[in-house]
Chain A
Amino acid sequence: MEDLAVQALNGLASASSLFLVASGLTVIFGVSRIVNFAHGSLFMLGAYLAWTLTGLGPLAGLGGLWSFWGAILLAALAVGALGALLEVTVLRRIYGAPELFQLLATFALVLIVQDVALFLWGPDDKFGPRAPLLRGAVEILGLRFPRYELFLIAVGPVVLGLLWLLFHRTRFGILLRAATQDREMVAALGVDQRLLFTGVFFLGATLAGLGGALQLPREAVTLHMDMAVIVEAFVVVVVGGLGSLPGAFLAALLIGELHAFGILVFPRITLVLVFLVMAVVLVLRPYGLLGRAPSGAPPASEVAAPLPAAMPPALRRAALAALALLVALPPFLGDYPLILLADFATFVLFAASLHFIMGPGGLASFGHAAYFGAGAYGAALLFRHFAAPMELGLLAAPFAAGLAGLLFGWFCVRLSGVYSAMLTLAFAQIAWSVAFQWIEVTGGDNGILGLWPSEWARGRLAFFYLSLALCGAAVLLLRRAIHAPFGMALRAQRDSGLRAEAIGIDAFRIRWLGFAFAAAMAGLAGALFAYGKGSVFPSVLGISRSVDALLMVLLGGVQTLNGPIVGAIAYAGLQEQLARVTDYWRLLLGLVILALVLFFPRGLAGAIRRGGSP
């Protein structure tokens, strides 16, 4: 019983932290319609800045109370100022851009902040001081409970109250609410939108920074905080309803308590539990607990161009020449380039499979790695538990991934836009959690080792040719499918669901099958990748791999046929080259992505097709 009480209090404390981050995210989304991936990075910066300010700087000289609480507030405000700066310099330029490009830009910021933090604070974890006045513990029901946790529990409702006052009692807040409901109308009434948007980013970033800074006495500051917290914040915001503050509070409580009690009841599947709750909420209430269906103009989406009739002869010749080189050159290459080329082949297929549902299907997936991983684990599990050879593994992988696609897709394709993207993310995290926590079957973090190709394909050259042949065939199938009736039907339901239904097309079924087909193709890529590496780890279905695929497709251009190929090679090549020349490759990659988003919004392949003019 006492245990339960303490767990409940723990849950409330984490709920407060979650709410701080999620409230900023949801406020920013409400007004700007931007899903800010970099919000977790702002949280992390808040923690790092607070660590520096409490230890160094003029505030530290004041000692005691001031040095801690002053540092926390200053860190939050500094992060707020940074958020405003980012809005003015980067985000302001992409408000009119398609949703996914905005996401790409904010993800570039994640990469940049990662390396800036690495450069400024180094790779070691930082441990903060304990909070003055709130050291030690109090007795509750005969159990000792840390004072600082109690303080955190109070912070959540206090911030919610302050935000309520801001939104209902100040002119700025009322304008923000108005803009959340109808941006165009607020603009039409002559309100200076620029100030409003910069203001909201300042507010949201301050909340993220405060959330991060307040973590200082609770946990170590690390370079992994950003991704961990952004995924949780996404869950909270989506469960609560995008743009709804009370919803975010409610959802933070739900998720916080779920974590706390989940550890008692189902210690092995806490992570699965959280994402499962999110999936259930989104299926029952597609716009979150307190969210409402978006009204007004739908978010800008890329104007879909008709399919290009045929490749221009010059491009066709270049593609054939490249293919010929890929077949003729490898015997003269060393091991390392062969490994790289085989990897590239799997990335191209992975990107092409995601492109299939994103471009023609019009459905953004933030969790495509789940299917890459389902293929890889499908093959690896057959090997581990049944000693299946590579041939069988490669054959089974697309089916394993396709089944996962059918199962998850049934939920994901009912929603659209940001909500469906978040649901795909949730399912990918569920898959990741299973791989990570179900140690008896998957080996957990230690992965499954010794997954080598069969004898005949073990040489680097032979394995490259195998990868090229299988990935090439699968990419060809995907391209044929785009021009075939199925691809056309997929495009039809994307262009106009109303018209598709009115001519007898079952849009849900087509989307669902398209999702599963793309998943199966990703599964083949995943299995090849696993055999190439000789092992499988949970990271094959981690969020960063999903983001890799997304970046490849977006870089290449969603509405181009060659986009995924060009994008995969450009992205993987860039990553590889940058990692070779500098430790700060994320920073450079982030800057390159940002430049691409700002200057080539139609992707690389789109730019090449139009003679390089942006």
Chain B
Amino acid sequence: MTPALAAEGLVKAWGGLRAVDGVSFTLAPGEMLALIGPNGAGKSTCFNMLNGQIRPDAGRVRLAGRDVTGLPPRAIWRLGVGRTFQVTATFASMTVLDNVRMALLSHARRLLGLWRPAAREFTAEAEALLTRVGMADQAGRPCGVLAYGDLKRLELAMALANQPHLLLMDEPTAGMAPAERMALMAETAAVARAGGIAVLFTEHDMDVVFTHADRVLVLDGGRLIAGGAPEAVRADPRVRQVYLGGGPA
């Protein structure tokens, strides 16, 4: 089966520092893959290359077999990739519903209308997406006043608007309370399984990683040093050495 996502020898250097140094992996359709590593390991750089925000110095990115290296983020989104950010990025001056509506309008390529109010478009679809992430009751609130966890949920709803095959989630639970983290990732996992969506996420919280990931990749110094089922990675001495500091997880 063609992998949903394949990274082939990705390299990115900042000045003399090789932030990402030859990273290759694949992600099967419907799989939840966690990318972990200490701060500065190159996780975000790696993510931004997959997403099209940064052009790799070398290597290719393939989506379902198609080479997308060097395409801008918006083109990659059109190929069915949803994205959430480490620091949430939403449209602060709009309501929760309008944020999701915006993604739906863009998906339908209906952004140039000048006369018919946007409020008449895709309301039911936007509400359905908000229901999927448990945000239906907040649809009318301006998203500038949302709690952080709710912003993350809103991002997830927007990421789902183009019926993606793949979700890229950079630290989806950063800045949230532990209980909330588990809840959000459980919701994400449920949504992804229900839709057959592959998910690649970075995460610092090991409980979250080992509870929800099907497979774990460990990045250190820009290179992948281990990968496999959560239990295998947890037991890997190299991982314990560089990442878990040698102590028990």
Q: Which residues of A contact B (CB under 8 A)?
A: 303-307, 477, 480-481, 483-489, 491-492, 494-496, 498-506, 510, 513, 517
Contacts and interface: CB of A to CB of B under 8 A. Distances in A.
Contacts of B78: 504
A486 B113 contact: yes
12 contacts: A307-B93, A484-B117, A485-B121, A487-B118, A488-B98, A492-B91, A496-B91, A502-B85, A503-B102, A503-B103, A503-B106, A504-B78
B152 to A, nearest CB: 13
Interface in B127-170: 142, 144, 158, 161-162
B249 interface: no
Nearest to B88: A499
Interface stretch (B38-46, B69-77, B191-199): B69-77
Given A489-B106, A504-B107, 11 more contacts: A303-B92, A481-B115, A484-B113, A484-B114, A485-B121, A494-B93, A499-B91, A501-B73, A502-B73, A504-B77, A510-B111
A305 B143 CA distance: 10
A495 B93 contact: yes
Given A306-B142, A503-B77, A513-B112, A485 B105 contact: yes
Given A504-B77, A505-B74, A304 B89 contact: no
A303 B101 CA distance: 22
A288 B72 CA distance: 26
Contact of B89 (A491, A498, A506): A498
B91 A480 contact: no
A309 to B, nearest CB: 9
Nearest to A513: B112
Give the 10 A-B residue pairs with the shortest CB-CB distance, closest first.
Answer: A304-B93, A499-B89, A495-B91, A485-B113, A503-B103, A504-B106, A489-B111, A481-B114, A504-B77, A306-B142
B24 interface: no
A489 B105 contact: yes
Given A483-B117, A513-B112, A489 B102 contact: yes
Nearest to A498: B89
Interface in B176-194: none
B111 A501 contact: no
A504 B91 contact: no
B162 A477 contact: no
A198 B33 CA distance: 57
Interface in B39-97: 51, 72-74, 77-78, 83, 85, 89-95
Contacts of A517: 114
A481 B113 CA distance: 7
Given A496-B89, A503-B103, A504-B106, A488 B112 contact: no
Contact of B102 (A483, A492, A494, A498): A492
A178 B51 CA distance: 37
A510 B101 CA distance: 17
Contacts of A505: 74, 102, 106, 111
Contacts of A501: 72-74, 77
A505 B83 CA distance: 14
A485 B118 contact: yes
B43 to A, nearest CB: 18
B115 to A, nearest CB: 5
Contacts of B98: 488
A272 to B, nearest CB: 33
A502 B83 contact: yes
Contacts of B93: 304-307, 491, 494-495
Contacts of A305: 93, 142
Nearest to B112: A486
Contacts of A491: 91, 93-94
A577 B114 CA distance: 37
Contacts of B92: 303-304, 495-496
A454 B189 CA distance: 69
A484 B107 CA distance: 16
A505 B113 CA distance: 14
B1 interface: no
Contacts of A513: 112
B90 A488 contact: no
Nearest to A481: B114
A440 to B, nearest CB: 38
A504 to B, nearest CB: 4
Contacts of B116: 484-485
A503 B158 contact: yes
A483 B118 contact: yes
Contacts of A506: 74
Nearest to A488: B118
Contacts of A489: 102, 105-106, 111-112
B110 interface: yes
